[in-house]
Structure 1
Amino acid sequence: MHKILKPQHLLSKKPNLTHFFSSKTPIPLPYGTETNDPSYKDIPKPVRDKSERKPYVTPMKVLIKRAKEEKEARKLKPCRMLENPPDNGLLVPQLVPVAYQVYEAREVLLSGISKLVKVIPVQKCRFCHELHIGHVGHEIRTCTGPGSGMRSSTHVWRKGRVHDVVFSPKSYHLYDRVGKPRVVHDESRRVPRIPAIVELCIQAGVDLEKHPTKRRTKPVYSIEGRIVDFEQAKESDENEHNLHDENLDPLMGSDLGTKFDEARNFIVDKETDPLEESQEGVTDLREISIGTMESWFKMISGAKKIMEKYGVLTCGYCPEVQVGPKGHKVRMCKATKHQHRDGLHAWQEATIDDLVAPNYVWHVRDTNGLPLDNKLKRYYGKAPAVVELCVQAGAPVPDQYRSMMRLDVVPPDRDEVDLVA
Structure 2
Amino acid sequence: MALIKTLLCLRRFYGTKVDLRKLRPMILDRIEKRAHAYPVRSMVPVAKEVLLARNAHINGVSTLLNYIPIMACKFCPEICIGEQGHLIQTCWGYRRRAKNRVHEWVKGGLNDILVPVETYHLHNMFQHVITHNQRFDCDRISAVVELCWQAGADPHDENLNSSSTNLEAADNSVHGTESLSPKDLAFIANKTFNAWEALRSGVQKLLLVYPVKVCKYCSEVHVGPSGHKAKLCGMFKHESWKGAHFWMKANVDDLVPPKIVWRRRPQDPPVLVNEMRDFYGRVPAVLDLCTKAGAIVPVKYNCMMKVQGLSTPVNNKIWQEH
Does TM-score exceed 0.5, indicating one fold? yes
Equivalent position of 1:153 in the other structure: 101
Equivalent position of 2:151 in the other structure: 204
Helix, strand or coil: the match of 2:36? coil
Equivalent position of 1:187 in the other structure: 134
Residue identity (%): 35
- 1:365 deviates by 1.4
Following the alignment from structure 1 to structure 2, what is the Cα–Cα distance between the partners of residues 418 and 375?
17
Which amino acid is the alignment partner of residue 377 of structure 1?
Answer: R
Contact 1:128 1:145 in 2 (8 A): yes
The answer to whether the aligner puts 1:385 opposite 2:257 as a matched pair is no
Contact 2:92 2:98 in 1 (8 A): no
Following the alignment from structure 1 to structure 2, what is the Cα–Cα distance between the partners of residues 367 and 165?
25
- 1:397 deviates by 2.2
Helix, strand or coil: the match of 1:397? coil
Which amino acid is the alignment partner of residue 412 of structure 1?
Answer: T
- 1:182 deviates by 1.9
Unaligned runs of 5+ in 1: 1-70, 211-263, 269-278
Which amino acid is the alignment partner of residue 186 of structure 2?
Answer: R
Q: After superposition, where does 1:288-367 map in structure 2 within 5 Å?
A: 288-336=188-236, 339-366=239-266
Equivalent position of 2:167 in the other structure: none
Helix, strand or coil: the match of 1:119? coil
Following the alignment from structure 2 to structure 1, what is the Cα–Cα distance between the partners of residues 121 and 74?
31
Per the normalisation by structure 1, the TM-score is 0.60
Deviations 1:275-302 (A, max 9, x none): xxxx9x9971000000000000000000
Larger Rg: 1
Following the alignment from structure 1 to structure 2, what is the Cα–Cα distance between the partners of residues 376 and 165?
24
Cα gap change, 1:207/1:406 in structure 2, threshold over 3 Å: closer, same or farther? same
Equivalent position of 2:308 in the other structure: 408
User: Alpha carbon RMSD of aligned pairs, Å?
Assistant: 3.4
Contact 2:50 2:203 in 1 (8 A): yes
Which amino acid is the alignment partner of residue 163 of structure 1?
Answer: N
Contact 2:263 2:288 in 1 (8 A): yes
Q: Which residue among 28, 40, 55 is the counterpart of 1:107?
A: 55
Deviations 1:168-203 (A, max 9, x none): 31000001322x242111221121100101100110
Following the alignment from structure 1 to structure 2, what is the Cα–Cα distance between the partners of residues 326 and 332?
16
Contact 1:375 1:417 in 2 (8 A): no
Contact 1:134 1:367 in 2 (8 A): no
Which amino acid is the alignment partner of residue 305 of structure 1?
Answer: K
Cα gap change, 1:345/1:381 in structure 2, threshold over 3 Å: closer, same or farther? same
- 1:131 deviates by 1.1
Following the alignment from structure 1 to structure 2, what is the Cα–Cα distance between the partners of residues 353 and 338?
28
Cα gap change, 1:319/1:379 in structure 2, threshold over 3 Å: closer, same or farther? same
Which amino acid is the alignment partner of residue 143 of structure 1?
Answer: C
Contact 2:93 2:99 in 1 (8 A): no
Q: After superposition, where does 1:48-197 map in structure 2 within 5 Å?
A: 78=26, 82=30, 87-146=35-94, 149=97, 153-178=101-126, 180-197=127-144
Following the alignment from structure 2 to structure 1, what is the Cα–Cα distance between the partners of residues 142 and 28?
34
Helix, strand or coil: the match of 1:335? helix
- 1:146 deviates by 1.7
Equivalent position of 1:395 in the other structure: 295
Equivalent position of 1:27 in the other structure: none
Total equivalences in the alignment? 282
Cα gap change, 1:409/1:209 in structure 2, threshold over 3 Å: closer, same or farther? same
Contact 1:286 1:395 in 2 (8 A): yes
- 1:141 deviates by 0.2
Helix, strand or coil: the match of 1:319? coil
Cα gap change, 1:113/1:336 in structure 2, threshold over 3 Å: closer, same or farther? same
Cα gap change, 1:177/1:367 in structure 2, threshold over 3 Å: closer, same or farther? farther
Following the alignment from structure 1 to structure 2, what is the Cα–Cα distance between the partners of residues 124 and 99?
32
Following the alignment from structure 1 to structure 2, what is the Cα–Cα distance between the partners of residues 354 and 156?
27
Cα gap change, 1:420/1:199 in structure 2, threshold over 3 Å: closer, same or farther? farther
After the TM superposition, which segments of 4 or more aligned residues of structure 1 sit over 2 Å from their partners? Answer: 74-90, 147-152, 366-369, 397-400, 416-421
Contact 1:315 1:347 in 2 (8 A): yes
Following the alignment from structure 1 to structure 2, what is the Cα–Cα distance between the partners of residues 80 and 186?
24
Which amino acid is the alignment partner of residue 128 of structure 1?
Answer: C
Q: After superposition, where does 1:7-86 map in structure 2 within 5 Å?
A: 78=26, 82=30
Which amino acid is the alignment partner of residue 354 of structure 1?
Answer: D
Which range moves more in the overlay, 95-104 or 144-153? 144-153
